[in-house]
Amino acid sequence: MTQSWEVRAQELDERDSLRSFRSEFVINDESVCYLDGNSLGRLPVSTPAAIAEMLAQWGDELVSGWQHWVDEAQRTGDVLGSTVLGAAAGQVLACDTTSVNFYQLCSAAVRARPDRQRIITDAANFPTDRYILQGIAREHNLELVILDNEQDDDQYERITEAQLTPLLADDVALVSLQVVQYRSGARNDVPGLTELVRNYGAFLVWDASHAVGSVPLAFDADGVDLAVGCTYKYLNSGPGAPAWLYVRKSLQPTLQVPIQGWFAQADQFAMGAEFERAQGIRGFQIASPSIVGLRSINASLSIIARAGMPAISQKAATATAFMIDVFDEWLAPLGFKLLTPRDANQRGGHIRIGHPDADIICNALRVQHNVITDYRVPDSIRVAASPLTTSFGEILEGMRRIRDCVASQCYQNATARIGRVT
């Protein structure tokens, strides 16, 4: 059976229409199985040159460069929208961090529903989102309702209309969910849940951080109102790269974010005494964008645009299906549990596998076996297939090393530790 898996991986790689794109990323050590692109994508070969070009512009142009830099968050936002979000121009900004953008849009949403008393999110939502919602609830004296989706073994944290509907009523101001659950990789029904929440007159803010660049997104077609996300996972823009926010065009005149920065001022360089918000998506920007960071985003997006999201999302589905098939034969007999939906339409670009010793296994994989995955409390390991950079051969070799590590129980003897869990 080992040989048949090798043959299958080789055949999948040979048929992979994206296989040539792997050469466009920095891969210094082919012995490493990097299965953590859902946390941090690989560096595009073109990014250092893009940054160097920006630094040269800075050196040559000095402050006059702001004549064209000043609108770069909008221009990059439009590229993000057309390339990976399914959003027409004028609805996306590439700026700040996901956390700042999330606070901005969620605060604007509850302010736009002043007579409502509740916010809804789920127990498996990303920690930052939950923490920010806790603060917003205190700030506005609202009740934060937590949908318990951590104990449902059949849904793997996926949120259904049947689960959410009993919590909805005309006193709900805001619902916030992830497109792809950060731990389990389960994908939620964006158009269905968006329409459900809208029928109750509430806003739904989507966090697409673990979805963008791995699954098809169609914000305009799906009727999405508000969304945020990062660019350093499947979008390969680097650690701390600027995030993005999406505001549907028809809502832009009616929502006011709490941080009113000078980049959102109608006549920015008049330096007026009072804030008068700019029209359109510019009214949601706070301050100067990271131009270096935006160049990193654009370098990566140019690769993604050539590859095309249909091919990227299809490979993500095929690669995670391959992982699951190998899991069933190699890892399930060793006491692992699959904690991700088997239906490709209900998952993103990573899977979650559970084991009682997940923490020390994940550590041993990095220290002893050159397999980079990540651990998530209390008992699971996330394994990702980043479509542009991960080959099927790399997936198979990584799964083999996981199998051998656990079958031999060598992980129990690992004394060295990776630093912080990441």
56-82 pLDDT per residue, tens? 999 999 999 999 999 999 999 999 999
Q: Say whether pLDDT at 17 is over 60.
A: yes
Q: Say whether pLDDT at 96 is over 60.
A: yes
Q: Say whether pLDDT at 1 is over 60.
A: no
Query: Span 171-190, mean pLDDT?
Result: 98
- Distance, in Å, from the CA atom of 240 to the CA atom of 288, rounded to the nearest integer, reads 16
Tell me the average pLDDT of the chain: 96
What is the C-alpha end-to-end distance of the chain, expressed in Å? 34
138 C-beta neighbours (distance < 10 Å), count? 10
Query: Span 386-402, mean pLDDT?
Result: 98
Q: Which residue has the higher pLDDT, 188 or 412?
A: 188
Q: Say whether pLDDT at 417 is over 90.
A: no
Domains, the chain, with CATH or none: 2-44+308-413 (3.90.1150.10), 48-306 (3.40.640.10)
Q: Say whether pLDDT at 41 is over 80.
A: yes
Is residue 315 helix, strand or coil? Answer: helix
Q: What's the confidence (pLDDT) of residue 416?
A: 65
pLDDT in tens, 240-283: 999 999 999 999 999 999 999 999 999 999 999 999 999 999 99
Torsion of Cα atoms, 114 then 116 then 119 then 120, to 10°: -140
Is residue 202 helix, strand or coil? Answer: coil
Residues with Cβ < 8 Å from 186, sequence gap 6 or more? 155, 156, 157, 158, 180, 340, 341, 346, 347, 348
CA nearest 249: which of 216, 296, 284, 273?
Answer: 284
